Amino acid sequence: MNLNRIDLNLFAVFDAIYTAGSLTKAAEVLCITQPAVSNSLARLRDLLNDPLFVRTGHCMTPTPVAQNIIVPAREALALLRKSIQQSQEFDPQTAEKTFHFATKDLFEAGILSRLAAHLEQKAPNICLSNFEMDNTDVVAAMASGGLDFYADSSSFTHPQLCKQKIAQDRFVVIARRNHPALSQGMTMDAFCELGHVCISSRRTGPSTIDSYLAKYGRQRRIVMRSRNYLISPSVVLKSNLISCVPYHMAKHYDVAIFEMPFDLPCTEYFLYWHVSADLDHAHLWMREQIAEVVKVFKAD
């Protein structure tokens, strides 16, 4: 049997004939014409190489082959109907689903942590999975169903992706409390002279902060370089180094917080998802939950 030739509509007709016992009644149940029912039965007979039903008086009597396949056919149809219903009616209290995110450490610490707490009572069987992924792999991962959401502080555009700005933050400078060189506050000279923990996705070269600082003809002294913002507070607390981090992260640590000594644009956070999931009920619900969490993030 060539599985590529199987049409699930044929088994819906098969089930209707089996239940009704006649082509005419099956047509009435399915709201189609009797010739359409006869045509579907003929195709299924050809596919299975069996008559499936034989006429006995005014009834259609199933053959042994029909009797053997009716139960699995009905189970398959029921599973399909259930899947369609679940995709159209999402109940977070009973749904069992894992949403896959690809985000950087800031989004994970600032928003996903709040989202997990937010879902604890509202959706007890919903799980969150997060991993880092290069944005060049995002579209393919979403198209294959392996990724639901991508979040990043940078914005990029692709015709297969929907995107939404969900939050923004400003950079501040953190240092250990009672830092001996900062009794007068964070000046441009102090900023450039003190050693920095630089956070950048690049192995070498200037970060965004260094590029803006260069416009003032100044350069900072980088002592340590890392990809992860979450390392900054632990290093700063144990040394005289300083670091530039988003405010919504800095405020959760026992550090001294200073405004940047020069103008720096705010960091914007964007959420991305595949166009194929734009109207999916489960996906819509999760985007609503993220929006709720972001309100708390903004208010903190």
Nearest to 106, CA basis, from 141, 132, 127: 132
Mean pLDDT, range 220-248, rounded to an integer: 94
One-letter amino acid at 256 equals: A
pTM here is 0.66
Q: Is a pLDDT exceeding 90 seen at residue 20?
A: no
Q: Residue 31: pLDDT band by 50, 70, 90 thresholds? A: confident
Residues 261, 119: Cα–Cα separation, whole Å: 39
- For residues 151 and 156, the model is more confident at 151
Is residue 245 within 8 A of residue 216, CB to CB? The reply is: no
Residues 175, 178: Cα–Cα separation, whole Å: 9
Query: What local confidence, expressed as pLDDT, does residue 77 receive?
Result: 83
Per-residue pLDDT tens digits for 83-113 = 766 666 788 998 889 999 998 877 888 888 8
Cα Dmax for the chain: 103
Query: Phi first, then psi: what are they for 77, rounded to 5°?
Result: -65, -40
Query: What local confidence, expressed as pLDDT, does residue 32 receive?
Result: 86
Residues 30, 108: Cα–Cα separation, whole Å: 50
- β partners of residue 60: 55
Structure tokens at 267: 């960091």
Q: Residue 150: pLDDT band by 50, 70, 90 thresholds? A: very high
Share of the chain above pLDDT 70, in %: 94
Side-chain-facing half-sphere of 194: CA atoms under 13 Å: 25
What is the number of other CB atoms lying within 10 angstroms of the CB of residue 188? 14
Query: What local confidence, expressed as pLDDT, does residue 143 receive?
Result: 86
Domains and CATH numbers, the chain: 3-88 (1.10.10.10), 97-169+268-299 (3.40.190.10), 171-265 (3.40.190.10)
One-letter amino acid at 96 equals: E
Could you tell me whether strands 59-62 and 126-131 are parallel, antiparallel, or unpaired per DSSP bridges?
A: unpaired
- β partners of residue 199: 226
- β partners of residue 249: none
Could you tell me whether strands 97-103 and 221-226 are parallel, antiparallel, or unpaired per DSSP bridges?
A: unpaired
Can you point out the beta strands (E) in the chain? 53-56, 59-62, 97-103, 126-131, 149-152, 161-169, 171-175, 195-199, 221-226, 242-246, 256-259, 267-274
Highest mean pLDDT among 133-147, 167-181, 268-282: 167-181
Nearest to 127, CA basis, from 116, 143, 139: 116
Is residue 195 within 8 A of residue 223, CB to CB? The reply is: yes
Q: Residue 137: pLDDT band by 50, 70, 90 thresholds? A: confident
Mean pLDDT, range 7-35, rounded to an integer: 86
